[in-house]
Amino acid sequence: MICRLRSSFLLLLLISITSDSSAVTISADEIMQKVVSGEPVILDGVSISGSLNLSRIEPQIVRRAFVITNSEMGDVDLSGLVFEDAVDLTSTKFDGMNFASAVFSDGAFFDRIVVSGDASFEGAHFKQDVSFSGSRFLGDAEMNFTAFDGYGYFADSAFLGDLHISSSSFQGFADFYGVCISGDFICLNTKFGDGAGFMSTEFDGDANFGMSSFAGYTSFDGSVFRGDANFALARFDKAVYFGDIRFEGDAIFGLTEFEGLANFAGTYFAEDLNLNSARIDAFVLDNTTFGRASGINLKGAEFRRLTAPWPHIRDHILYDGATYLALVKNYQELEWFEDADDCYYDYRREAQLRKPLGWGKIIDYLAWITCGYGVRPSYPFVWSIVLIPLFGLIFYLGKGIHRQSAAPNENPERLKEDFPAEEIPASLHESMYFSALIYLYAGPVEFRPSGIYRYLVILEGILGWLFLSLFLVCLGRVMIR
C-alpha cells in the first residue's frame, strides 16, 4: 500500500516539475558539439530542447565530465558511449533514457532523477560506484546484462513499471534499501558478489530471483512481497536474513541452496512456502505465522538444522513420509524431544489415514489406540485405569467371583465331607481388589471365578500383560533418550 501511495505521489510530482520560466534553454545540439569537441558538459538548472542522441558520434567516447543537474530534458540516447570522466545527472527529469551498452569509467550519479518513460541500462558497465538514490522511474527499467563493479546504490528509489536486472553482476555491495517496485522484478541468473541489501523493499508485483547467486551476506529484512517471490535454484553462500517479511503470494525456494544461516524469524506467509528439494544448512522459522490455507513443502529437502517448533508448522506441512522422519531426526538432534514425539505421532496418524483398508491399517489402528504409536505412555496407563475397575464391576454385577467361607484346618478332607465350603459372592471392593491383582500378575487363592468369568479372568490377565508391557516400553522410550 505504501508503494502505491508513492506511485500516486510521483504522478503529482510530474505535474509539479515544470520548466522554470527563468531557466536557460539550451538545445541538444549544443551539448553534442561540446562532447564532440572534447569539452566538459557542466550544466545546472537548464531546460534542454530537443532529443539528445549521442549514440552515433565518432568516436563514441565522452572524455570530459558530463554533468547536467536540476534540469529538464526530453528523450536521451547515450547508448554505446564510453564515459571516461564522471557522470552526474542528479535531480534531472527525462522523458526517456537509453544508456544501453554504455561504459562508465568513473563514478555515475543518477540520484533523484525522474524518468517519465522507459529507461535502459542494458549491457552497461559501471566500473566505479553508481548511485540511483531517490530516483523515480515511471516506465520500465532495463538493466539486464549490466555489470556493477563498485557499490550499487538504489536506496529509496521507486519503479512504477517493471525492473529487469537479469544476467547482471554486482561485484560490490548492492543496496536496494527502501526501494519500491510497482511492477514485476525480474532478477534471473544475477550474481551478487559482495552482499546485497533489500531491507524494507516493497515488491508489488512478482519478484523472481531464480538462479541468482549471493556470495556475501544478504538481507531482505522488513520487506514486503505482494506477488509471488521466486528464489528457485538460487544460491546463498553466506547467511541470508528474511526476518519480519510479509510474503503475500507464494514463497518459492525450490532447489535453492542455503550454505549458511537462513533466518526467517518473524516472517508471515500468506500462501505456500515451497522448499522442494532445497539444500539447507541452518533454517530458522521461529515466531513465523502462516495463512489459514498456506502449506509448507519440504519434499526432497535436505537440512542439517531446522529451528521451527512443531506446533507452529504442524498444520501446514504437506504430507511426505521422508520429510516427517527427517523432521523427527532434526528435533531429536536439537533435543526438542516433545516436538520429535509429536511429529512422529502426526506422521504415523497421517500415514494410517492414507492407507487402504487392510491388515496394515488395522495394525496401525491398534498401535494408535493402545500406545499412541509408541510415543504416548499415557495411553496404556489410561487403558489400565479404565480396565481394572471395568472388570471389577463386571465380576461384581455378574457375581462371577466367589470367596469360600470355611477356613482350612488340620484335616481338610474331613472338613470337606462334614462341612461343605460355602461360596459367597465377592463384594464390590473385593471384586476390584481381585481385578487389580489379576491385571497386575495373578489372582489371590481365596477367590475363585466361576462359569464364563473364568475366561474373563484369562482375558484380563492377557490385557494386563499387554498394556503393562506397552507402558514400560513407551515410558522407557520417553525417559531414556
pTM: 0.84
Nearest-angstrom CA–CA distance, 164 and 448 = 89
Number of domains observed in the structure of the chain: 1
Joined grid coordinates for residue 240: 541470508
Residue 202 located in a structural domain: no
Residue 389 located in a structural domain: yes
What is the average per-residue pLDDT within 371-381?
Answer: 93
Please tell me the predicted confidence (pLDDT) of residue 415: 46
Please state whether 266 falls in left (phi above 0), alpha (psi between -120 and 50) or beta: left
Residue 395 located in a structural domain: yes
> 45-72 pLDDT, tens per residue?
999 999 999 999 999 999 999 999 999 9
Maximum C-alpha span of the chain: 144
Please tell me the predicted confidence (pLDDT) of residue 222: 96
> 133-188 pLDDT, tens per residue?
999 999 999 999 999 999 999 999 999 999 999 999 999 999 999 999 999 999 99
> 76-103 pLDDT, tens per residue?
999 999 999 999 999 999 999 999 999 9
Residue 473 located in a structural domain: yes
Give the residue numbers spanning the domain of 439.
Answer: 378-479
Asked if residues 295 and 316 have their Cβ atoms less than 8 Å apart, the reply is: yes
21 or 132, higher pLDDT: 132
Residue 470 located in a structural domain: yes
Q: What is the CA radius of gyration of the chain?
A: 39
Nearest-angstrom CA–CA distance, 407 and 51 = 124
> 198-220 pLDDT, tens per residue?
999 999 999 999 999 999 999 99
Residue 8 located in a structural domain: no
Nearest-angstrom CA–CA distance, 188 and 233 = 10
Q: Domain of 419: which CATH number? A: 1.10.287
Residue 382 located in a structural domain: yes
Residue 426 located in a structural domain: yes
Q: Does residue 11 register a pLDDT over 70?
A: no
C-alpha distance from residue 134 to each of 114, 153, 183 (Å): 9, 10, 17
Q: Does residue 14 register a pLDDT over 90?
A: no
